[in-house]
């Protein structure tokens, strides 16, 4: 109807019967390129031009010349008040981006229009219709809202990003920064804005930054740079900066975008790795790595010296190439422990050199973990103990020879004593006592020989001194104590004398007597206290004179032990107390 101009079929009749104001309004509407709809009369009959037709979709052309209620039914509750405001009150209604709910294409949607509704009056100034000039803005509103949502999301991303993000001019003036950037450099946002990026860049990093900035300004090429910022408190923070150009509408580079990632921890890790690599490379111990298939993956210079293989000829080979045939089961056992996360403490073993000879090593093995905490191999540290082994062997030979010679000396002295005093019957008891004392000295030297002539365990000294007597007659208790060399012989003699006297006159001279030997030791001060206490023996009478044994215990022993020793002749049993300070512990 609109296209044919078949106005006679409308509810308004032919134009010849229209009031002049209607004809004038239609004459204005039809040629206009604006979207115009005219609602006429009490029924608000709709007339519209061609540009308006697409805005009502499938309602065209049946909506033309029909009451608006028929074809705008779903939005009538919204539209009618607007039209009545104009038709009944003569007011003008205008709005920008006015939303309307409509189903013009067979589905519901909200559309937007700029509207201007104005009254059409007749010659009596009576409002007869509503002249509506509209402009659909749905696409723009949706685009604006999408852009706004995108910008809000972008702002949220920038604001909450774990990366520091900023904008700067080509001269380096800071124009915008997010919260994370402020945290990285230790400044408040307002303190940073207006500063130059040079103000917070470590001086040694400026030449490379300047070069890359200049290249970006000339070519538009983005760049990555690891650099240091100087924080507000003066400390340095390592960052990885990604710098990209920002162009204006004409395509010219006006600003740059900077994304800063704090890599301080990574740098610390790299420094630790560098130091560790340096330690491994310069270590005197052979250090190598293997994977879980026992394939060698790393090899330091000391491993080359110890085993004879260069890194390029051994890496990729099985570690079993280093294992002697009689120890071939060691590696699978070690690897099973490593797979379980265990560290193999250092132990002595042997490995094969490239030329075939065997090397004595002190070997320890630890798991190697990847970044996810999974065990991917093992680190093996081998210390060459060949020289130590040879030294130990030689020391054992020398100590054995010394031990043999000392025994020969004791035997010679005892033989001389027997030959010298053998014809004197009265001296036979003295010879026996002398031999017993020499024997105690010899046994003390046996203990020292076991300790490489440096020390002997106090409990071993006590047990050796009481060995000639029934063990059930003794109660021995005390802390572990290592006695220095000069103390061992003196204490052995003293215990020998106490035992001899107990056997002759004291607790060991009857069937019921017992002896308790106890001691305590303070490691912090080196103070030692030993008590020999006899009980359940014959009644003790003080001696009329002090013999060699008493003098040995009370004088010589006290001097050797740097302390004091006393013998009390209590009727219930002899009590000997020895107090000493062990000043030189091995």
- What are the pLDDT digits (tens) for 495-524? 888 888 898 889 999 999 999 999 999 888
Which pLDDT belongs to residue 510? Answer: 92
Q: Nearest Cα to 557, choosing from 521, 526, 528, 518?
A: 528
The pLDDT value recorded for residue 98 is 94
Query: How far apart, in whole angstroms, are the C-alpha atoms of residue 362 and residue 390?
Result: 14
528 CB burial (10 A radius; 0-12, 13-18, 19+): buried
251 and 291 housed in the same domain: no
Joined tokens for residue 466: 């009481």
Do 243 and 296 lie in a common domain?
no
Tell me: do 251 and 301 sit in the same domain.
no
* Integer Rg of the chain from CA: 54
Q: Check whether residue 124 and residue 223 sit in a common domain.
A: no
pLDDT of residue 447: 59
Among the listed ranges 19-23, 87-91, 282-286, 344-348, which one has the minimum average pLDDT value? 282-286
Exposure letters 393-418 (e unless 16+ CB within 10 A, then b): eeeeeebeeebeebeeebeeebeebe
Residues 312 and 347 in one domain: yes
Task: Compute φ and ψ for 511, nearest 5 degrees.
Answer: -90, -10
* CA proximity to 468, closest of 491, 502, 434: 502
The yes-or-no verdict on residue 417 having pLDDT over 70 is no
Bond before 259 cis per omega within 30 degrees: no
Give 324-346 as a 3 state SS string.
CHHHCCHHHHHHHHHHCCCCEEE
Q: Which residues pair with 154 in a beta bridge?
A: none
CATH of the domain at 568: 3.30.565.10
Domain boundary among 80, 112, 141: 141
Query: What average pLDDT is seen over the chain?
Result: 83
Q: Rounded CA gap, 422 and 435, in Å? A: 13
The answer to whether position 354 is within a domain reads: yes
- Phi first, then psi: what are they for 232, rounded to 5°? -60, -35
Kindly state the average pLDDT of the residues 34-58.
93
Mean pLDDT of 1-23: 73
Q: Distance between CA atoms of 503 and 433, rounded to whole angstroms? A: 13
* Number of domains the chain is built from: 4
Please give the pLDDT value at position 146. 85
For 327, counting Cβ atoms within 10 Å of its Cβ (0-12 exposed, 13-18 middle, 19+ buried), the class is middle
For residues 102 and 166, state if they share a domain.
Answer: no
Kindly report the CATH number assigned to the domain that includes residue 173: 3.30.450.20
Residue 152 within a domain: no
What does the alpha-carbon distance between residue 274 and residue 282 come to, in Å, rounded to a whole number? 12
Mean pLDDT of 119-124: 94
Domain shared by 465 and 494, yes or no = yes
HSE-up (13 A, CA, CB side) for residue 30: 12
Of 229 and 406, the one with more pLDDT = 229
Whether 70 and 199 map to the same domain: the answer is no
Q: Mark residue 65 as left, alpha or beta (left: phi above 0; alpha: psi -120 to 50; beta: remaining).
A: left
- pLDDT average, residue stretch 334-349: 88
Q: What is the DSSP string of 28-42?
A: HHTT-SSEEEEEETT
Residue 3, pLDDT score: 47
- b or e along 13-28 (b: 16 or more beta carbons within 10 Å of the residue's beta carbon)? eeeeebeebbeebbee
Position 415 in a domain: no
Domain limit, last residue, from 384, 410, 437:
384
d(CA 63, CA 7): 13
pLDDT digits (tens, 9 = 90+) for 459-491: 888 888 888 899 899 999 998 888 877 777 778
Lowest average pLDDT, out of 301-310, 395-404, 447-456, goes to 395-404
Name the pLDDT band for 525 (thresholds 50, 70, 90).
Answer: confident
Name the pLDDT band for 20 (thresholds 50, 70, 90): very high
Asked which of 229-233, 451-455, 468-472, 548-552 is least confident by mean pLDDT, the reply is: 451-455
For β-strands 474-478 and 174-177, DSSP reports them as unpaired
What tens digit of pLDDT does each residue of 266-320 get?
888 777 777 777 777 778 888 998 998 999 999 998 999 999 999 899 999 999 9
**563 and 509 in one domain?**
yes
Cβ count within 10 A of residue 287: 19
Q: Does any domain span residue 103?
A: yes
Which of the four pLDDT bands, split at 50, 70 and 90, describes residue 395? low
Q: How confident is the model at residue 157 (pLDDT cuts 50, 70, 90)?
A: low
What is the domain range of residue 499?
428-581
Tabulate helix, strand, coil % of the chain (nearest 5): 45, 30, 25
Q: Which range among 184-198, 377-391, 429-443 shows the weakest confidence by mean pLDDT?
A: 429-443
Q: Residues 495, 559: one domain?
A: yes
Inside any domain, residue 534: yes
Percentage of the chain beyond pLDDT 90 is 41
Beta carbons within 10 angstroms of residue 428's beta carbon: 13
Q: Are 359 and 468 in the same domain? A: no
Exposure string over 504-516, b if 16+ CB within 10 A, otherwise e: ebbbbeeeebbbb
CA distance 486 to 586: 12
Q: CB neighbours of 366 closer than 8 A, spacing ≥ 6?
A: 338, 343, 344, 378, 379, 381
User: Residue 194, SS3?
Assistant: coil
Q: Measured between alpha carbons, how far is 101 from 491 in angstroms, rounded to an integer?
A: 112
Contact 307, 322 (CB under 8 A): yes
- Over residues 426-449, the mean pLDDT reads 55
pLDDT given at position 564? 83
**2 within some domain:** no
**Domain C-terminal end among 109, 141, 173:** 141
From CA 158, how far away is CA 178, in angstroms rounded? 6
At residue 72, φ and ψ (nearest 5 deg) are -120, 35
Residue 231 has pLDDT above 90, yes or no: yes
| Residue 321 DSSP class | G
Domain membership of residue 61 (yes or no) is: yes
Minimum mean pLDDT range among 87-91, 231-235, 257-261, 447-451: 447-451
**Same domain? 262 vs 299:** no
Per-residue pLDDT band at 126 (split at 50, 70, 90):
very high
Q: Which residues does residue 136 pair with via DSSP β-bridges, in sequence order?
A: 113
Q: Does residue 292 lie within any of the structural domains? A: yes
């Amino acid at each position: 109807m609109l296209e044919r101009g078949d106005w006679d079929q409308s509810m308004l009749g032919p134009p010849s019967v229209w009031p002049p104001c209607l004809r004038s309004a239609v004459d204005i509407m039809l040629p206009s390129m604006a979207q115009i709809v005219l609602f006429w009369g009490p029924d608000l009959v709709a007339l519209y031009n061609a540009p308006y037709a697409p805005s009502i979709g499938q309602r065209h052309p049946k909506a033309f010349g029909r009451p608006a209620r028929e074809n705008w039914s779903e939005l009538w509750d919204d539209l009618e008040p607007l039209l009545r405001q104009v038709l009944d009150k003569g007011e003008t209604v205008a709005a920008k981006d006015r939303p309307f709910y409509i189903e013009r294409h067979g589905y519901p949607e909200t559309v937007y229009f700029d509207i201007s509704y104005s009254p059409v009056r007749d010659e009596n100034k009576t409002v007869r219709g509503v002249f509506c000039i509209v402009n659909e803005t749905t696409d723009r509103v949706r685009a604006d809202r999408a852009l706004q949502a995108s910008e809000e999301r972008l702002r949220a991303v920038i604001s909450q990003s774990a990366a520091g993000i900023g904008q700067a001019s080509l001269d380096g003036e800071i124009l915008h920064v997010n919260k994370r950037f402020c945290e990285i450099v230790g400044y408040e946002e307002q303190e940073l804005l207006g500063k130059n990026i040079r103000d917070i860049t470590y001086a040694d990093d400026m030449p490379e930054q300047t070069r890359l900035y200049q290249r970006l300004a000339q070519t538009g090429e983005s760049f990555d740079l690891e650099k240091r910022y100087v924080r507000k408190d003066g400390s340095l923070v390592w960052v990885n900066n990604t710098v990209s150009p920002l162009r204006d509408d004409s395509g010219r580079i006006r600003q740059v975008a900077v994304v800063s990632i704090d890599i301080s921890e990574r740098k610390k890790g790299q420094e630790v790795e560098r130091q560790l690599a340096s330690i491994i490379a310069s270590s005197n111990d052979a250090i190598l790595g293997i994977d879980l298939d026992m394939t060698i993956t790393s090899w330091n210079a000391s491993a080359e010296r110890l085993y004879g293989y260069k890194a390029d000829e051994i890496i990729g080979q099985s570690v079993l190439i280093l294992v002697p045939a009689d120890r071939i089961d060691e590696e699978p056992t070690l690897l099973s422990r490593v797979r379980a996360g265990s560290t193999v403490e250092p132990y002595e073993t042997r490995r094969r050199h490239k030329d075939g000879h065997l090397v004595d090593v002190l070997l320890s093995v630890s798991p190697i973990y990847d970044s996810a905490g999974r065990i991917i191999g093992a680190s093996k540290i081998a210390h060459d103990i060949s020289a130590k082994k040879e030294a130990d062997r030689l020391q054992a030979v020398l100590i054995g020879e010394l031990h043999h010679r000392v025994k020969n000396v004791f035997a010679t002295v005892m033989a001389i004593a027997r030959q010298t005093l053998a014809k004197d019957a009265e001296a036979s008891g003295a010879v026996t006592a002398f031999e017993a004392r020499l024997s105690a000295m010899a046994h003390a030297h046996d203990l020292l020989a076991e300790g490489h002539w440096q020390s002997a365990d106090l409990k071993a000294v006590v047990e050796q001194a009481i060995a000639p007597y029934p063990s059930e007659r003794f109660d021995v208790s005390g802390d572990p104590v290592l006695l220095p060399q000069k103390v061992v012989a003196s204490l052995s003699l003293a215990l020998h004398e106490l035992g001899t006297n107990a056997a002759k006159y004291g607790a060991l001279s009857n069937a019921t007597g017992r002896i308790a030997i106890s001691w305590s030791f303070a490691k912090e001060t080196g103070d030692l206290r030993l008590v020999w206490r006899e009980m359940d023996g014959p009644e003790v009478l003080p001696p009329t004179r002090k013999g060699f044994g008493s003098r040995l215990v009370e004088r010589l022993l006290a001097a050797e032990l740097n302390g004091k020793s006393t013998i009390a002749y209590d009727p219930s049993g002899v009590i000997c107390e020895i107090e000493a300070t062990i000043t030189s512990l091995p």
